[in-house]
Structure formats: C-alpha cells, structure tokens
C-alpha cells in the first residue's frame, strides 16, 4: 500500500469538530536509496531540509513487507546526522492516538525515536524511546523512565503505542501483545515524532509506519493503573532500594481499595491499599518493600490484582507493569571514565552537571566523572584538555574516550563496561607540600594478566565544590521556569544562575600526559603481577582547595582505554610516593642469569630482599609466552634451574617476578 493521508471533517450546528486522521507508509513505491522526506512531503526533517543528511533513505536491504523499508543509521560518531520527522497533522491533547510500525534492530545495535509535544519541533519532548542493544526498550520523559520492557533483537517485530489522551493511558504492544502501560504525567499532548540515531552503534530499519487519531476520546468508568515505577539508587548487583509505584484512577468511579502483587527474582510480595478515595486523574504513590538487585537481568512485575474488590476493570493492559533492571557485577579494580564537555555559557549544560553528580553518587569511584570546561568566557577552562577532547557540541560526554553522547545516556555504557575485567590496576601515591603547594604523584600500574605492547598513563587533577564570584561563574540555564522539564532543581533557578548560587564539581584543573610520550609510556611484554611506576609533578593554584581534589590516572594503549582510578590527595598520601627511578625493577645484583649463552641448562641467581612468591616466565623474542613456572614462597639467596635443551637456538626473554620487583634478561640459546 502506498503512503496515504486522509482527513475527515464535518460541520455540525456551526461548530467545527476535530478531525479524524490516518496515515500509512510502507516505502514500497519509492526507489531504493531515495530520500523519504524529499520523496513524500508528509515527512520532513528537524531543520526542514529534505534531501540532505538529515533525511533518511529508503532501503532494499531489509523489509517487513517487501521490498523496502526505511534505514536509520548514524553517519557520525556522536549521533545523527539523520534527524527525520513525521508530523502527525496537528497537536492532540484529548482523544485516541495510535502509532505503529515494524522495526528491526540488528544484533549489537541500538535505536531511538521521540514524540514531540507541539508542532514546533524541538520545543517540548513528550516521550523518549530508547532501544538498547541488550534487548530492552525504555520509555522515558526528561530522562525519567516510565516503562522498560524486552523487545526481540535481530528480527522484525511490530510495535504499537496506543494513547488514550483523555485518560492519559499510554499502552505498548509488541507483536499485538500488551507489554505494559504508563501515564505520562508531565505532558499528555502529541504532535510529531523524530527518528534519530544517537551514536555510532545506532542502526535500525522501520517499515509499515502508520498512525491514526480519533478525537472522540471516550472515557472510562472503572479503571485503575500501575505506573511510574521509580528506582532511586544505582543499578549494580547488590544494590537495595525501596522503590515506589503509582496507583492511578483513570475512570470516573472513585477507587477506595486495591490489591497489588509484586513479583521479583527472590519471591512474590502482596500489598493491599485501603483508606484511599481516588477520583479521576488522582494517584497515590506507594512505597514497595525493599528489593535487592540480583546479578544479571532483574524483572520486576507489578500486577493490579483487584480494584474496589473486583478482579477486573475496563482496561486490563494498564493493570500490568513490568520494569527491567540489568544489574552487572563490577569487575575487581575496574572503573569507567566519563569525560563531560560543559561550559558556564551553555544553557543546556546543567543537565550534564545533574547526571554527573547523580551517577557519581550511585557508583562512587566506579563511575569517574570529569567536567572538561569549554569557552574563553568560562573561568574553569583548561585549554589543553578542552582541545584534546574536541567535543563537537555541548553538553556532551565520552565514556572511556569513546563516541560522544548526551551526559544523561552515560549510565548504560557504564553498566555494560563495569563488569569487564581490566588488564591492570592503578595505584596513585603522593607527597604534598602545603607551603609551596607542590604535589608529586606516583602512579603504579600493576598488570593483572599477561599483556604486550605499549601503554601510557595520563594524569588528571579535578576539584569538587568550586565556587566563584565573577560573572564568568554564572551558569546559563535553559531549565529555568520548568518549561523544559525537571532537572535536578535547576528548574527553580533563574537564567542565568548567579555565581553565588552555583557550585561546580568534578572540574578538570590540571592534566599531564594526555598523549603518549617517552616520559609516560612503557612497553611490554608484561606478565600478571608486573608493575611499572611513573612520576608526575604539579603546583596547585592558590585558589584550588587540596582537600577537594582528586587524582585520576588513566591507562591507555594507543587510543584504547584500559582502566582508571580516583583517589583524594589524602588517600594518595596514605599510599605513599614511589620514585619512578626505583620503578620496582630488580637490579643486576639481585638477579642474574648464568650461564648465558646457554646450551641445555642455565640458572637464575636470585637474592631475595623480601620473602615472597617467585615466578619466572620465558618469552619468545616477539613476546609470546613459552612457559611459566611458579616457585612458591622463597627467601634468601638461591639458584633456580632453567632447562633450555628443548629450545631452538636463538634469543629469548626471561622475566623474574618477586615481591621486590621484576627483571627481564635476554637469554641466548646456542648449541
């Protein structure tokens, strides 16, 4: 079926009644690679530029109804440039609205679209819909989740969003089955939708796009719903919370009591609500019993079992509410680095500040936020760091120095990455002279598994609680007045927020070694337990408060992030400073290999300064491990035999690891 758009109007008693509207586009009448908005004027783009990079192309690669579909793919690491808009023919605040489409999201990819509340695009978002690569889709507004459900990955599925605007009931159906519903309490109008690929991993296909609007908007008599599930804590394994959920009356009959069943991985909880008198549109927020997240996917099902003693009401779909929380187990010694691009001049940047503070609270020392300020008018600008990060828009963020994304979206990649075991851990040590304000920092890199190649360590100093008195510390604030939603209290502050009312956290103050250089680079091979020490020196500015500062070493391999950690100056002082010249390398007086060259046998002559476990590892000259031998706990002086009779003639590397350090000796095998 080709694209259709029908409009029915009627006049009755000289009153213009709202119109019924329907639309359907299956993309089969267009040639492959055609821009859809340039081909069909019912579509447009965010900036009203059909036929440009904002437009999306018809594709014959995949289809739900052959031969074509619409392909939404990012052409930029930071998302976009595709920004395709489908107007719905008006702004609707009552009646019934239904959107539907077939979707296919390949493995490892993600998808996103949103509904706009007004006909002026970009004014107010009604709903954000994020399909994560792990097979969950989250419906949210102003970053507040309203519903999270699973969706089929790597296969076509039919999605329907059915909205009773009169009763503010938003139902979600996948392949015709109701998966849950929610009330969009912040806004119940709808005018258009926007297809937008959010990052470099965005790729999805859309087919059989359709919507309809019926202004009749019949209400309900008896209808209760469960929605607005709120988890207020972090989302890693073992986190406990007493979440809340809202019981809402969508009908004209007063609700006086209800029975609710909550099902989690650890059991079933039954709750009764009584003594209420909810009229239409009213809700009561219920605190649920404590729930502790188990490792992996947590499914929390909430069922409205009875309303006013009756086992059913007029809308069964909104009696069921499902919320999915993936709770990873953090890997030992692992942390995730989140560098946020911000500026006092940037009116949307309060969003970045709110989410960096929130995730720092949830995942303290696991989620490491750094606020990289931008702009010559910003007194917290660190020009070197700002230039290195090269953010293309603000606010912005990079997780583990990857693709750009909105700061509010950084929790998802954090939860994905935090369970991955790091190659090494980092231990900062320090000395500090409060008179000269000279801070010397040592960073010990301890490899947790075998590694090869070149690594380097960047060191960053940040400060919390930064305040200023000049106008440069005023924060531009698009959230003033609340028209753009709730944003951590900024909605109650003016635009700009006066410097006297602003406190800035995670501010990047100083950097060293942002790029690889001889002074901060070391080369392998390394075995588990190998250690390397680097030294850095800073002079703290008089206005920086050392008690509020953090030392953040970042381990890199080329452009690939490896790991990071964070420590206060006091914590680093407690760890102690290690001179890089010591480098935890054993001297030739502590270990020698003799005879060398060797034919069938050589020996490791070892003098142990400290008792402890000893390991030897033999490498080929290109770094491949040929064998490893653990000798256990040793003490004193000894000779450890090494058999070489089975080795081919040539050059090898022999590494000896002790508690006092390590040493690598070249070993020549000859016959």
- The rounded distance, in Å, linking the Cα atoms of 167 and 151 is 26
- The rounded distance, in Å, linking the Cα atoms of 626 and 632 is 20
Residue 9 has pLDDT above 70, yes or no: no
User: Taking residues 412-438, what's their average pLDDT?
Assistant: 95
Per-residue model confidence (pLDDT) at position 21: 82
Per-residue model confidence (pLDDT) at position 16: 31
- Beta carbons of 578 and 584 less than 8 angstroms apart: yes
- The rounded distance, in Å, linking the Cα atoms of 558 and 204 is 31
CA angle (287 as vertex; 362, 321 as ends), nearest 5: 90
Residues 443, 444, 446, 450, Cα dihedral to 10°: 70
* Residue 56 CB neighbour total at 10 angstroms: 22
Bridge-based pairing state of the strands 367-373 and 336-342: parallel
Give me Rg for the CA atoms of the chain.
30
Per-residue model confidence (pLDDT) at position 11: 29
- Percent of the chain's residues with pLDDT above 90: 73
User: Taking residues 371-388, what's their average pLDDT?
Assistant: 98
Q: CA of 274: how far to CAs of 150, 225, 258, 281, in Å?
A: 33, 15, 7, 18
Residue 11 or residue 595, greater confidence = 595
Q: How does pLDDT run across 138-185, given as a tens digit for each residue? A: 999 877 788 889 999 999 999 999 998 988 889 999 999 999 888 886
- The rounded distance, in Å, linking the Cα atoms of 207 and 489 is 41
**Lowest-confidence segment of 75-84, 293-302, 408-417 by average pLDDT:** 75-84
Per-residue model confidence (pLDDT) at position 584: 64
Q: Which two tokens stand for residue 71?
A: 């392909």
Q: How does pLDDT run across 446-497, given as a tens digit for each residue? A: 999 999 999 999 999 999 999 999 999 999 999 999 988 899 999 999 999 9
Q: How does pLDDT run across 178-209, given as a tens digit for each residue? A: 998 888 865 579 999 999 999 889 999 999 99
- The rounded distance, in Å, linking the Cα atoms of 616 and 95 is 76
- Percent of the chain's residues with pLDDT above 70: 96
- Beta carbons of 633 and 611 less than 8 angstroms apart: yes
Instruction: Classify residue 72 by its DSSP letter.
Output: E
Per-residue model confidence (pLDDT) at position 19: 52
- The rounded distance, in Å, linking the Cα atoms of 637 and 660 is 14
CB within 8 A of 120, min separation 6: which ones? none
CB within 8 A of 456, min separation 6: which ones? 513, 515, 516, 517, 520, 521, 522, 555, 556, 557
Based on the number of CB atoms within 10 Å of its own CB, is 521 exposed (0-12), middle (13-18) or buried (19 or more)?
middle
Which residue's structure tokens are 């988890």? 231
């Amino acid at each position: 079926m080709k694209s259709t758009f029908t409009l029915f109007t009627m006049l009755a008693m000289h009153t213009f009644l709202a119109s019924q509207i329907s639309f359907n586009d299956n993309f089969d009448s267009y040639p492959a690679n055609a821009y859809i908005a340039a081909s069909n004027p019912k579509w447009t783009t965010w900036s009203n530029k059909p036929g440009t990079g904002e437009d999306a192309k018809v594709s014959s690669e995949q289809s739900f109804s052959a031969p074509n579909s619409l392909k939404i793919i990012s052409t930029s690491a930071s998302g976009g440039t595709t920004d395709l808009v489908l107007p719905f023919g008006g702004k609707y605040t009552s009646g019934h609205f239904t959107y539907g489409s077939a979707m296919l999201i390949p493995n490892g990819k993600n998808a996103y679209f949103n509904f706009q509340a007004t006909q002026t695009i970009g004014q107010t978002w009604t709903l954000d819909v994020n399909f994560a690569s792990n097979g969950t889709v989250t419906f949210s507004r102003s970053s507040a989740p309203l519903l999270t459900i699973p969706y089929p990955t790597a296969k076509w599925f039919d999605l329907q969003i059915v909205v009773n605007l009169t009763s503010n009931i938003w139902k979600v159906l996948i392949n015709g089955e109701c998966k849950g519903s929610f009330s969009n309490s912040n806004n119940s109008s709808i005018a258009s939708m926007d297809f937008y690929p959010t990052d470099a991993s965005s790729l999805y296909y859309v087919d059989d796009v359709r919507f309809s609007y019926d202004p009749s908007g019949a209400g309900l008599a008896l209808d209760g719903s469960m929605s607005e599930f709120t988890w207020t804590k972090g989302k890693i394994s073992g986190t406990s919370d007493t979440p809340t959920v809202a019981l809402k009356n969508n009908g004209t009959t007063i609700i006086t009591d209800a029975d609710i069943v909550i099902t989690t991985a650890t059991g079933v909880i039954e709750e009764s609500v009584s003594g209420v008198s909810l009229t239409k549109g009213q809700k009561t927020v219920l605190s649920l019993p404590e729930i502790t997240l188990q490792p992996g996917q947590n499914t929390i099902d909430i069922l409205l079992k009875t309303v006013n003693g009756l086992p059913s009401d007029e809308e069964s779909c909104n009696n069921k509410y499902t919320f999915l929380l993936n709770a990873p187990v953090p890997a030992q010694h692992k942390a995730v680095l989140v560098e946020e691009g911000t500026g006092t001049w940037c009116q949307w940047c309060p969003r970045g500040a709110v989410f960096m503070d929130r995730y720092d609270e949830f995942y303290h020392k696991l989620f490491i936020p750094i606020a990289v300020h931008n702009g010559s008018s910003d007194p917290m600008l660190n020009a070197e760091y700002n230039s290195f990060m090269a953010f293309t828009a603000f606010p912005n963020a990079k997780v583990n120095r990857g693709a750009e994304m909105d700061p509010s979206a950084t929790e998802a990649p954090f939860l994905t990455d935090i369970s991955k075991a790091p190659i090494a851990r980092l231990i900062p040590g320090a000395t500090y002279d409060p008179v000269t304000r000279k801070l010397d920092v040592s960073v010990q890199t301890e490899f947790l598994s075998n590694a090869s190649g070149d690594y380097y360590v960047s060191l960053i100093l940040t400060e919390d609680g930064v305040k200023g008195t000049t106008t440069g510390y005023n924060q531009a604030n698009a959230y003033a007045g609340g028209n753009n939603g709730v944003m951590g209290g900024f909605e109650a502050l003016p635009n700009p927020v006066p410097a006297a009312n602003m406190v800035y956290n995670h501010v990047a103050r100083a950097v060293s070694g942002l790029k690889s250089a001889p002074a901060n680079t070391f080369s392998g091979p390394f075995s588990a337990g190998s250690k390397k020490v680097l030294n850095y020196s800073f002079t703290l500015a008089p206005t920086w408060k050392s008690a509020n500062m953090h030392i953040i070493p970042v381990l890199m391999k080329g452009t690939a992030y490896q790991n990071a950690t964070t420590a206060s100056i006091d914590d680093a002082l407690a760890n102690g400073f290690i001179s890089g010249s010591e480098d935890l390398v054993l001297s030739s007086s502590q270990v020698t290999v003799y005879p060398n060259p060797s034919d069938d046998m050589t020996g490791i002559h070892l003098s142990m300064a400290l008792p402890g476990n000893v390991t030897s590892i033999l490498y080929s000259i290109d770094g491949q491990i040929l064998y490893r031998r653990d000798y256990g706990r040793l003490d004193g002086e000894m000779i450890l035999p090494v058999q070489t009779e089975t080795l081919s003639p040539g050059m090898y590397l022999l590494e000896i690891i002790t508690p006092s350090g390590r040493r690598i000796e070249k070993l020549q095998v000859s016959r």
